[in-house]
Amino acid sequence: MLFVTVREFRDKATQVLRQKELVLVTRDGKPAGFFIPWEQSTIQDDIRKAVLEALAESLRQQREKQGISEEEVLEDFAAHRQARRGR
């Protein structure tokens, strides 16, 4: 997975869009979005499903590589939502 800032993504869009790997775009060090390389011009339902399954698998592998459980991710999301509500 490639990591780029929003500014790098904007300034080097052509290079980034040519990448063959998933790109995580960050803003202020936090995830802002993903770029998923795609070479076909249309997306059918079965392809959408395959893309989402591939993304889920990639995220699972990254999570396991870092030794993070799915429960820890869910707890982190819940804590983040709680903190946002407290603003």
* 75 and 62 assigned to the same domain: yes
Same domain, 15 and 56: no
Domain count of the fold of the chain: 2
Q: Does residue 25 share a domain with residue 45?
A: no
Domain boundaries, position 80: 41-87
**pLDDT string in tens for the chain (87-residue length):** 889 999 999 999 888 888 888 899 999 988 898 888 877 667 788 888 888 899 899 889 999 999 999 999 899 888 888 887 875
Question: Which distant-in-sequence residues (6+ apart) come within 8 Å of 63 by Cβ?
Answer: 69, 70, 73
CATH number of the domain that residue 32 is part of? 3.40.1620
**Per-residue pLDDT, 27:** 92
pLDDT at 7: 94
Its pTM surpasses 0.85: no
Cβ pair 79, 85 in contact under 8 A: no
Same domain, 51 and 80: yes
Angstrom distance (rounded) from CA 8 to CA 2: 12
Q: What is the pLDDT of residue 84?
A: 79
Burial group, residue 78, by CB count within 10 angstroms (0-12, 13-18, 19+): exposed
Structure tokens given for 19: 């990448």
